[in-house]
Every structure is written in structure tokens, then in C-alpha cells.
Amino acid sequence: MTLAKYLIGITLASLALFSCDNSESLQQYLVDKQDDDKFLKVDLATSLLQNENSDFTQEEKDILATVKKINVVAYPLKGESTTDYQTEKDKVKSILAEEKYKTLLKMGSNNRGATLKYTGEEDAIDELIVFASDEERGFAVFRLIGDKMRPDKMMKLMNSIDNGDINIDQLSGIGVILSMGTDSSAAKK
């Protein structure tokens, strides 16, 4: 019986070690792809989004401060071999399948799909991730990176975009990639 106990302990410990070795974080993966020409990347500090003459209240500023940056990495398909695309996509998929990436929503139809995930707690989100793919256009990972972002406060902040306090023009740089994303999200409806 004692032997069995030890065995179970050892198996559990080795399993834990094993899983640690295998886990590749999304951050690590995306950093690795930083110099890969196949990928399109956009990094945007959210401080850029503020209009100079915007009049945010202190509370709104505090909320904005919890959002650090927007990061988009995309693999556009341009008619080349899809095997490499498939391996990269599967890699991202397997990373996102890890437990720390909590699934909010999953949608898919035929060759398109989108997954909405987050890390952190539901009232203190560290990272909001959208993973969208389209077998004809490629895949993209959108990340909103922050520190303990509060969804309820974020909603309030969204309303202030209508007031013109946030400079959306700064986002036009990712227009190309975004159009890919919005196309696939439009298709879901």
C-alpha cells in the first residue's frame, strides 16, 4: 500500500513537471514570431489612443491606465502552401487550449471560426484574446493586454469613445488586419 502511495506521488509529480515543460505561453509564441516575415504584427500602446485635448475624468484615466496595449499578430494566407499555415494555427490552438486561457465564447461556421478568451479573474482581466481564423484568408490573434482590467468599468469607457475622447484614427494602421477580422465576425452573424 505504501509503495502504491509513492508510485502515485511520483506519477503525479512527473506529470506536473511534464506539463510544465510542454506549456508554451502565447506571449512566448508571439515573441518567437516577431521576426517571421509570414506574420503581420501591430503593437499599439493605448496611450496613443488618447486625444491630446481630451478631457478625461480622473476615474476614466484610471481605467485607461489599466489597459497597456493592443497587440495584433496575423498570418495572412496568400495562396502559398497551407501546411505551414495549418501547423502554426494548430500551435496557437493548442496554446489557447490551456486552462489559464478561459473561454468566453466560441463561434464557427464552415471554414471560419472565432474564439474569445481571457486570462485573470472575471473582475480583474489581464489579457483579452480574440483568435479568429478563416481557411481562405488566414488567422489572427488580437490581444488587449492590461493589468486587472475591470469589464464593468471598461463598458463605461467604451461609451466615451462616442464622445470623441479617444482618437480612433490611430487604429487605422491595423485596418488591413482588422478588416480580415471583421469580415469573419460579420460572417458569423
Give residues in contact with other proteins (CB under 8 A).
102-111, 116, 118, 122-123, 150-153, 155-156
Min dist CB 184 to other proteins, Å, is: 13
Taking the CB of residue 73, how many other CB atoms lie within 10 A of it?
23
Min dist CB 126 to other proteins, Å, is: 14
Nearer Cβ to other proteins (47/103): 103
Min dist CB 169 to other proteins, Å, is: 28
Nearer Cβ to other proteins (1/20): 1
Nearer Cβ to other proteins (38/102): 102
Taking the CB of residue 54, how many other CB atoms lie within 10 A of it?
16
Nearer Cβ to other proteins (63/174): 63
Q: How far apart are CA 175 and CA 24, in angstroms?
A: 29
Helix (H) or strand (E) holding 29: helix 26-32
Distances (CA, A) of 114 to 5, 61, 66, 127, 157: 44, 31, 25, 16, 24
Min dist CB 37 to other proteins, Å, is: 29
Question: Considering only CA atoms, which of 56, 66, 48, 50 is closest in space to residue 151?
Answer: 66
